[in-house]
Amino acid sequence: MQPCVAFGSLCNSMSSNGYVIDVHDVHKTYKKRIKALQGVDLQVGSGEIFGLLGPNGAGKSTLVKILMTVVRPDKIGGTFLGASVGQKEPLSKVGYLPEHHHFPGYLTGLQVIEFSGAMCGLSKRERRANAGKLLDRVGMTKWGSSRLNSYSKGMLQRVGLAQALVNDPKVVLLDEPTDGVDPVGRREIRDLLLELRDEGHSIFLNSHLLSELEMVCDRVAIMVQGRVSMQGTIDELTKDSKRYEIQVLGPCPAWIESHPGASVESVEAEARISIATDDPEAIQPIIDRLRNEGRSITRVHAVRESLEDLFMRAVVDESGNIAAPGAQIESRRGSGGDAP
Amino acid sequence: MTQTLALFLDAYRLLNARKIFWITLVLSLLVVSSFALVGIHDDGISIAWWNLDLPEINTGSAGFTKAWFYKTMFTSLGINIWLTWVATILGLVTTASIFPEFVTAGSIDIILSKPIGRFRLFLTKYITGLLFVILQVSVFTGASFLVIGLRGGVWEPGLFIAIPLVVLFFSYLFSVCAVLGVITRSTIASLLLTILFWFMLFIVQSAEQSLMVFDMMVQQRVTAYEDAVERTRQRLETVEDPDDMERWGFLHETLEKREASLANAQGSSGNLKAWHNGLLGVMTVLPKTGETIQLIERWTIDLAELPEMSGETSRPMISEDDHFTPDEEKLGKDIQDAVRNRSPWWILGTSLLFEMVILCIGAWRFQRRDF
């Protein structure tokens, strides 16, 4: 597929600060008491893969649905592709795959993609050309003329992904795109997302698969009970947790404990020295001293928090309790609770 | 335009995938084929190879025309029974799921994420839902046109008025079904509630027609008693010494009885009129399914095509022993006139107004709802 847009037109659909999605103070309450979103602020830059994480009921899908005009917010500020959220016009430049999508079983894969293209206003020629290429891209060329009711979950997911890309979108919003896909397929989808990013598409991912998000996302946000608790690049978010670990044979040297930011742990016949720093220069004197003392260094490596660690940190409150899944419910008497 | 065409193509694919659509179409063609097997001749009618001599229905002594015969079959059997009952129920069963499936989570998300307004989407989807009946009635009417032309020798393009009228009739019900589908998201609930609504319309329309007939009968009774009272008075005026109660007491008694019966009939007529007007008011705000279909007969069969009636009309009578004899021929003609004289603008206009109001409610609900 060709790069999606010319640079100039991409700039036109961004907000003045360079974000394709830039929303502030998003509020949504269902049935007057289920607080799905409570003042969400979120920014997605152009040409990046952005991951939105959060436990079940945190409000991730509600936020995506608000962007796609499926759900009406109670309050929202900011822009989506340079226009106010809720306007239909920018959606012609957006691709979307919802989590539990349902395509009519009487359609073939090719027809689903062409229908999606037609609804985006593409001409017949464009639809035909794009649908063929996309089927090839998601590895479904052989099945393009078969009806969806003969597809497996993974095949439906691939076709769903293809229909989201038919209009050559500037922003692609994907809700659990690898749901039901086998490991080979997941890898292919991951590679496809990276290709899309390289072509200039911005990708907004909703997923529970933290390890997968970690592999592809440039930036992430973690939502808990309708609020964004963390947002940034994985490097930024894990900066404080970065450290270097040096493993040496034999007992731990006594002097190391006086080194600022150092901690020591004995593992069988080895000692694991942990230095809290993200600067490789800072550990060179320690390595030199260990070498001078004739100690055998078996391993030196940089360590940082995984996305899972980060996620767990985000969902634990000050008192150490893990946030219950679900949105906050305002009880009829006014006290808070959680939706199931 | 691309989006509208895509929605129509999708609706066609949906119908194409449903066996019930093709079964209904084949049955429609069978019904039309059965018309071709029936013929009328000078002595009666023929069904395939069998001839039935019928003195009441023939083109000879009874004076019917072939054109009338086939057009009557088309309206009475084809439209009034097949299309407005059997095919409509099959149509509702086929299309009742369109909106509930459309608003299913996972399906509506994708369509709403496209650059098309909700109002336009709702209305386009509604119109595509009428595709079932448009295709069915077009094939049926086209085939009937050929049968009437080939067998009856009359090429009657007026038959095609059945297409918009049957579509309109179906659209009254489908609008209710569509809105219920959006509100309840359940195929079974929207189908059953629509059929219930249709049954309610049938009851209201039947009650209105029954009250109209009763009112006409009571009117005849009033006329008959007015005549009888007048006759009795005239008789009293002509007799010698009418105050002689011994001789003419029975006449005074008859007069009193007839005046009381007249007052009673006038009272009943007043009550019936009030009830009839009330029901007519209710009907005005509801879609007129039966009368919309009757328009097909009104507009395709000219009364002049019917053989002349006997012409022996007599005023309704009260006999000497106070037995009421209605003028049945006049009653039949009055009912036919009353039905035929109702303004098509009133029938179609108020029905369409109802449909518009229902669709506006549905569009408003669809517009405001979170999915």
- How many Å lie between the alpha carbon of B8 and the closest alpha carbon of chain A? 11
CA–CA dist A338, A322 (Å, integer): 13
Question: Do residues A154 and A180 make contact, with C-beta atoms less than 8 angstroms apart?
Answer: yes
pLDDT at B306: 60
- Average pLDDT of chain B is 88
pLDDT at residue B313 greater than cutoff 60: no
**pLDDT value at residue A331:** 64
Q: What is the mean pLDDT of residues A114-133?
A: 93
Burial code (b: 16+ CB inside 10 Å, e: under 16) for B79-102 equals bbebbbeebbebbbebbbbbbbbb
pLDDT of residue A15: 57
Q: List chain B residues with CB under 8 Å of A100.
A: 105-106
Interatomic CA distance for residues B363 and A207, integer angstroms: 34
Q: What is the largest CA-CA distance in chain A?
A: 75
Cβ contact (<8 Å) for A70 and B112? yes
Q: What is the pLDDT of residue B310?
A: 52
Chain A contact for B17, CB < 8 A?
Answer: yes
Confidence grade of residue B244 (pLDDT, cut at 50, 70, 90) = confident
Q: What is the per-residue DSSP string for B106-157?
A: TTHHHHHTSSS-HHHHHHHHHHHHTHHHHHHHHHHHHHHHHHHHHHHS---G
Determine the residue of chain B that is closest to A174 in CA distance.
B110
**Token duo for residue A268:** 């069988």
CA distance B28 to chain A (A): 24
Query: Nearest-CA residue of chain A relative to B108?
Result: A70
Distance CA B309, CA A234 (A): 94
Tell me: the pLDDT tens digits for B59-96?
888 888 888 888 888 888 888 888 888 888 888 988 89
For B105, left (φ over 0), alpha (ψ -120 to 50), or beta?
A: beta
Per-residue confidence (pLDDT) for residue B308, from 0 to 100: 57
Please name which of A221, A155, A154 lies closest in space to residue A182, comparing C-alpha atoms.
A154
Q: Which residues have CB under 8 Å from B150's CB, separation 6+?
A: B36
CA distance linking residue A88 with residue B367, whole number of Å: 13
Single out the residue of A11, A314, A140, A230 nearest to residue A132, CA to CA. Answer: A140
Answer whether B116 touches A (CB < 8 Å): yes
**How many angstroms away from the CA of A340 is the closest CA of chain B?**
19
Asked if B94 and B132 count as a contact pair (C-beta separation under 8 A), the reply is yes
Query: pLDDT tens for residues A269-303?
Result: 888 898 988 888 988 999 999 899 888 999 999 88
Q: Residue B255 and residue B245: Cα distance in Å, rounded?
A: 13
Structure ipTM over 0.90, yes or no: no
What integer pLDDT is reported at residue B84 of this predicted model?
A: 84
DSSP A35: E
pLDDT score of A126: 92
Distance CA B81, CA B86 (A): 7
- Model confidence at A24, in pLDDT bands (50, 70, 90)? very high
Kindly report, residue by residue over B253-286, the tens digit of the pLDDT: 888 988 998 999 899 888 999 999 999 999 999 9
Distance of residue B85 Cα from the nearest chain A Cα, in angstroms: 28
Which residue does chain A place closest to B15, by CA atoms?
A: A106
> Distance between CA A44 and CA A217 in Å, rounded?
11
For residue A4, the tally of other CB atoms under 10 A from its CB is: 22
Domain boundaries, chain B: 2-199, 209-336
User: Which among A195, A325, A234 is positioned nearest to A51, based on CA atoms?
Assistant: A234
A-facing residues of B in 66-95 (CB < 8 A) are: none
State residue A23's pLDDT score. Answer: 94
Chain A's closest residue to B8, CA to CA, is A115
Please give the share of chain B, as a percent, with pLDDT higher than 70: 96
The minimal CB distance from B105 to the residues A68, A91, A100 is found for A100
List, in order of start, the domains of chain A with CATH numbers: 7-237 (3.40.50.300), 243-303 (3.30.70)
pLDDT exceeds 70 at position A67: yes
Signed CA dihedral, B363, B364, B365, B366: sign only: positive
Tell me, what's the pLDDT at A133?
93
Rounded CA-CA distance B310/B329 in Å is 9
3-state SS string for A56-115: CCCCHHHHHHHHCCCCCCCEEEEEECCEECCCCHHHHHEEEECCCCCCCCCCEHHHHHHH
Q: With an 8 Å Cβ cutoff, are A119 and B6 in contact?
A: yes
Q: Are B278 and B212 in contact (CB under 8 A)?
A: no
Work out the average pLDDT over A88-104: 92
pLDDT of the residue at A1: 37
- Under 8 Å between Cβ of B318 and B228: yes
Is pLDDT above 50 for A5? no
Residue A7 pLDDT class (50, 70, 90 cuts): very low
pLDDT of residue A320 exceeding 90, the answer is no
Nearest to A169 by CA among A188, A207, A196, A195: A196
Predicted pLDDT at A240: 78
B173–chain A nearest CA distance, Å: 25
Q: What is the mean pLDDT of chain A?
A: 86
Over residues A207-245, the pLDDT tens digits come to 878 888 888 999 999 998 899 988 998 888 887 778 899
Q: How many whole angstroms separate alpha carbon B203 and alpha carbon B282?
A: 12
Answer yes or no: do A72 and B368 touch at CB < 8 A: yes
Most confident of B47-61, B165-179, B240-254: B165-179
The per-residue pLDDT for range B135-150, each reduced to its tens digit, is 988 999 999 899 888 8
Q: Read off the pLDDT of each residue in A176-198 and give the average, rounded to a whole number.
A: 89
pLDDT of residue B315: 67
Which chain A residues touch B if contact means CB-CB below 8 Å? 30, 65, 68-72, 88-92, 94, 96, 98-104, 106-107, 111, 115-116, 118-123, 163
Cα dihedral sign, A133-A139-A145-A148: negative
Question: A324 falls in which pLDDT band (50, 70, 90)?
Answer: low
> B336 CB near a chain A CB, below 8 Å?
no
Type of residue numbered A340? P
Nearest CA distance, A68 vs chain B (angstrom):
5
Chain A CA closest to residue B368: A72
* B101 and A CB contact within 8 Å: yes
Percent of chain A beyond pLDDT 90?
51
Asked if B115 and A122 come within 8 Å (Cβ–Cβ), the reply is no
Q: Would the CB atoms of B116 and A119 count as touching at under 8 Å?
A: yes
Q: Which two tokens stand for residue A56?
A: 């079940």
3-class DSSP assignment, residue B36 = helix
Distances from the Cα of A56 to the Cα of A159, A208, A219, A325, A328, angstroms: 25, 9, 20, 5, 12
Note the pLDDT of residue B132: 85
Q: What's residue B67's pLDDT?
A: 80
pLDDT at residue B130 in the model: 92
pLDDT at B311: 52
Return d(Cα A279, Cα B206) in angstroms, integer: 90
User: What pLDDT sits at residue B36?
Assistant: 84
pLDDT tens figures, A245-275:
999 998 888 888 888 888 888 877 888 898 9
**The pairing of beta strand A75-80 with beta strand B317-318:** unpaired
Instruction: Report the distance separating Cα B104 and Cα B188, nearest Å.
Output: 14
Q: Is A4 a residue whose pLDDT tops 60?
A: no
- In Å, how far from its chain's centre is CA B297? 9
Q: Rounded to the nearest 5°, which phi and psi values hold at B48?
A: 55, -110
Q: In whole angstroms, give the CA distance from residue B198 to residue B88.
A: 11
Contact B333, B311 (CB under 8 A): no
